[in-house]
Amino acid sequence: MRTSRMSYIAMALILVFTFWIFVSFSTAEINKELKAQIDTAIERGIKYLQSHQDKEGSYGNHAGITALVATAYMRCPKHYTEKDGAFLKDAIKYIVSKAEPDGSIYDRGPASYITAVGLMALVETKNPEYKEIIEKQSDIY
């Protein structure tokens, strides 16, 4: 059951990022109908992710996956912020809860990768509240 749920979350993330990349980096003019369809597909992926968030704000009880989902929220065409709802605010709070005293962010898995995507999400918030965690990383690397 858990593996199936994680697979669906991964597919939704792939959908959101794929369409975001397509829309963001496409040099060709996209007709309005196609752009509307893409935006609708992205929003469906976002809604799916919102409906599968764990109570503590994580996705799959994993800091890395939660960071990727939070980044997808902030980079999608609606550019969600923490002020837009608990779905993003709680995800960021979960990521911050996994920050270690040295600034690394992880719960399990490859610490350097989890830290990198965690920092990506925190930087993307543009929230000065996370400055200390972000700056600690410059001391490590």
Q: Which residues of the chain have pLDDT under 70?
A: 1-6, 8, 11, 15-30, 138-141
Query: What are the angstrom distances between the C-alpha of 50 and each of 97, 122, 138?
Result: 20, 19, 32
pLDDT attached to residue 25: 54
Spell out the domains of the chain, with CATH numbers in brackets: 2-140 (1.50.10.20)
Tokens encoding 56? 């503590």
Distance from C-alpha of 73 to C-alpha of 54, rounded to nearest angstrom: 16
Quickly list H helices, the chain: 2-25, 32-51, 63-75, 86-97, 111-125, 131-140
Question: What pTM was computed for the model?
Answer: 0.79
